[in-house]
């Protein structure tokens, strides 16, 4: 009787998991993508939207990447072809018919697979970053988790220029980066790496010493990641 009960519980667990993750791989894309369209929705991509760009990109990556969509309730769609528009803060995906669509339903997170490293790159939408006051609308790349969560914002700006005697306008998109930490439900902009020890007072001395001994300048993700990871390791040891 006990064996039957355990088997039944296992079966329920397996079914629950299958209802949580929808595989939109090539083998399942007919039903999977139709279900994705029904749940997430989508409007066609305006192909003329970015034809005037001569420099830069509105996307995290122009190429579509295999990724996952996580909805507000936690349901995940895996093996979806995605790209993220960081200018308009929209998620683009490929439908079962091969059409590029823009998702119309709020999405909590997307995870994109780096084609080189095969690592997943996670972006969380501001609406689902639990903090007060509200975070500025947009997508934030999650760099590290723990007692302190480290985020990176890709800030896209567009400049238009109409060359002399030209009937068309040229668009130039530039990208700057900013970093944020989330700790104790407080989301704060990190203006420079040497500001972090003051923001994490409980380990200020250790963080300052770590910055100096490792010559961290804050000119790359690597520096911020190293300092956030070091702080999280100190907290974990307590």
Beta-bridge partner residues of 189:
180
**Assigned domain for 16 exists:** no
Domain annotation covers residue 118: yes
DSSP code of residue 59:
B
Are residues 81 and 68 part of one domain? yes
Residue 132 lies in a domain: yes
Mean pLDDT of 161-170: 80
What is the chain's length?
A: 238
Give the burial string for 40-66 (b: 16+ CB within 10 Å, else e): bebeebeeeebeeeeebebbbeeebbb
User: Within a domain: residue 13?
Assistant: no
Does 224 fall in a domain?
Answer: yes
Mean pLDDT within 203-217: 97
Residues 156 and 51 reside in one and the same domain = yes
Per-residue confidence at 164, pLDDT binned at 50, 70, 90? Answer: confident
d(CA 127, CA 137): 7
Close Cβ partners of 190 (under 8 Å, ≥ 6 residues apart): 178, 179, 180, 181, 196, 199, 224
Q: Are residues 150 and 227 in the same domain?
A: no
Residues 67 and 28 in one domain: yes
Q: Are residues 166 and 155 in the same domain?
A: yes
Give the residue numbers spanning the domain of 208.
193-238
The percentage of the chain sitting over the pLDDT mark of 90, rounded to a whole number, equals: 57
Which one, of 131, 157, 151, lies nearest residue 139 by Cα? 151
219 with 108, same domain? no
Structural domains in the chain (count): 2
Examine the domain organization and report whether 46 and 159 are in the same domain. Answer: yes
- At residue 209, the 3 state secondary structure works out as helix
User: Would you place residue 21 in the very low, low, confident or very high pLDDT band (cuts 50, 70, 90)?
Assistant: confident
Cα–Cα distances in angstroms (integers) from residue 132 to residues 29, 139, 184, 186, in the given order: 39, 17, 10, 7
Say if CB 199 and CB 188 are below 8 A apart: yes
Do 176 and 93 share a structural domain? yes
Q: Domain for residue 112, yes or no? A: yes
Is residue 11 included in any domain, yes or no? no
From the list 60, 114, 124, the residue with the least C-alpha distance to 88 is 60
* Band of pLDDT at residue 161, cut at 50, 70 and 90: confident
Q: Where does residue 205 fall: left (phi above 0), alpha (psi -120 to 50 degrees), or beta otherwise? A: alpha
78 three-class SS = strand
Structure pTM? 0.83
Q: Do 168 and 223 fall within a single domain?
A: no
pLDDT tens for each residue of 171-182: 899 999 999 999
Q: Which long-range contacts (CB under 8 A, 24 or more apart) does 174-179 make?
A: 174/56, 175/56, 175/86, 177/152, 177/153, 178/152, 178/153, 179/150, 179/151, 179/152, 179/153, 179/224
6 domain-assigned: no
Statement to judge: residues 107 and 206 lie in one domain: no
Regarding whether 180 and 64 lie in a shared domain, the answer is yes
* 134 plus 238 within the same structural domain: no
Which of 153, 170, 190 is the C-terminal boundary of a domain? 190
| Under 8 Å between Cβ of 58 and 96 | no
């Amino acid at each position: 009787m006990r064996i039957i009960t355990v088997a039944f519980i296992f079966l329920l667990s397996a079914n629950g998991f299958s209802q949580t993750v929808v595989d939109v791989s090539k083998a399942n894309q007919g039903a999977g993508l139709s279900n994705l369209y029904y749940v997430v929705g989508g409007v066609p991509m305006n192909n003329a939207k970015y034809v005037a760009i001569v420099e830069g990109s509105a996307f995290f990556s122009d190429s579509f990447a295999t990724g996952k969509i996580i909805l507000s309730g936690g349901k995940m769609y895996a093996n979806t072809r995605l790209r993220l528009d960081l200018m308009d803060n929209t998620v683009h995906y490929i439908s079962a018919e091969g059409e590029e669509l823009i998702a119309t339903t709020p999405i909590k997170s997307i995870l994109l697979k780096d084609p080189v490293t095969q690592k997943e790159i996670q972006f969380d939408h501001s609406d689902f970053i639990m903090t007060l006051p509200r975070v500025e609308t947009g997508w934030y790349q999650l760099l590290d988790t723990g007692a302190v969560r480290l985020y990176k914002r890709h800030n896209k700006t567009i400049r238009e220029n109409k060359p002399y005697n030209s009937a068309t306008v040229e668009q130039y998109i530039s990208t700057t980066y900013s970093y944020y930490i989330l700790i104790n439900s407080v989301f704060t902009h990190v203006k420079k790496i040497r500001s972090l020890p003051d923001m994490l007072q409980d380990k200020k001395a250790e963080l300052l010493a770590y910055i100096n001994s490792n010559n961290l300048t804050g000119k790359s993700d690597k520096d911020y990641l190293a300092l956030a990871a070091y702080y999280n390791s100190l907290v974990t040891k307590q």
